Amino acid sequence: MNAESITIELPSASIRPWDQLLHDVRELEQQFDTQIALYMQYVRPTHNQPSNDPQCTHLESKLQTILDDLQSVISEMTETVHTNRGSRRVLERHQSMFHDYEREFQRYKQNVRATAKRTELNGAEVERDRMVEERGRIDQAHTDIDMVLENAFAVHGELTQQRSVIGGATAKLVDVSERIPGINMLLGRIRSRKRREKVVLAIVISACTCILLFVLT
């Protein structure tokens, strides 16, 4: 009688026990949930957590590493199921969760990129508005300086005109002052002549009076 050949499939030494794989996959899923919650804050950043924060890049790298490790563990679980040492239903559930994680991470990462782009554009717009405002202040300052200079030139012109008028008046006063001594001399001569005429008249009257008295006596 021929002996039946029995083939026994030994477990591969490179594949870890199913319980260990379940423990690792659940731990990695918990880590992903924790890190993705932190990463979500960069989708709508506050003033304290901008999209270009280096921590954001660090979280992306960490999440990608978790997904890579999770994919590796699920691959091991797939091999284990093929050797009939694991649950296919459990494997399919973790595979579905893994694909959901990948889609979620890619969606959030795109949103973070879009938010960072909007923040950059808003920053550029704010900087442009600031430069326009600064340019407006400079132009206003130039206008004010031009007005001050215009007023200064107008005042300078008025002062020059007033100085010319004052100079003319001063020249006239000097001319009058030069002529006054001659006028005073003429008036003095006139007054002297009047006094002499009065003296002569008084002498004539006295002489006539004396002659009249002499004749009458």
SS (H, E, C) the chain: CCCCCCCCCCCCCCCCCHHHHHHHHHHHHHHHHHHHHHHHHHCCCCCCCCCCCHHHHHHHHHHHHHHHHHHHHHHHHHHHHHCCCCCHHHHHHHHHHHHHHHHHHHHHHHHHHHHHHHHHHHHHHHHHHHHHHHHHHHHHHHHHHHHHHHHHHHHHHHHHHHHHHHHHHHHHHHHHHHHHHHHHHHHHHHHHHHHHHHHHHHHHHHHHHHHHHHHHC
Q: Greater confidence, 166 or 73?
A: 73
Please name the amino acid found at residue 128: R
Confidence at residue 179, expressed as pLDDT on a 0 to 100 scale: 63
**Residue 170 — very low, low, confident or very high, per pLDDT cuts 50/70/90?**
low
The pLDDT assigned to 19 comes to 93
Please, is 207 exposed, middle or buried when counting C-beta atoms within 10 Å of its C-beta (0-12, 13-18, 19+)?
Answer: exposed
Which residue did the predictor score with more confidence, 129 or 103?
A: 103
What is the rounded CA–CA span in Å between residue 81 and residue 182?
142
Decide if pLDDT at 2 tops 50.
no
Query: For position 94, what pLDDT does the model report?
Result: 95
Distance CA 134, CA 143 (A): 14
| Burial tier of 174 (Cβ tally within 10 Å: 0-12, 13-18, 19+) | exposed
Q: Which of 56-60, 127-131, 155-159 has the highest mean pLDDT?
A: 56-60
Q: Which of 65, 68, 72 is nearest to 15 (CA)?
A: 72
Gap between the Cα atoms of 10 and 7, Å rounded: 9
Give residue-wise pLDDT tens across range 38-69.
998 887 755 455 556 788 889 999 999 999 99
| Residue 5 pLDDT greater than 50, yes or no | no
Mean pLDDT for 91-110 is 95
Q: What is the pLDDT of residue 100?
A: 96
Q: How far apart are CA 114 and CA 163, in angstroms?
A: 72
The reported pTM is 0.51
Q: What is the pLDDT of residue 104?
A: 94
Q: Between 103 and 13, name the one with better pLDDT.
A: 103
Residue 28 has pLDDT above 50, yes or no: yes
Residue 90's closest CA among 107, 73, 67, 112? Answer: 73
Lowest mean pLDDT among 50-64, 123-137, 201-215: 123-137
Between 146 and 70, whose confidence is greater?
70
pLDDT surpasses 80 at 33: yes
pLDDT at res. 86? 83
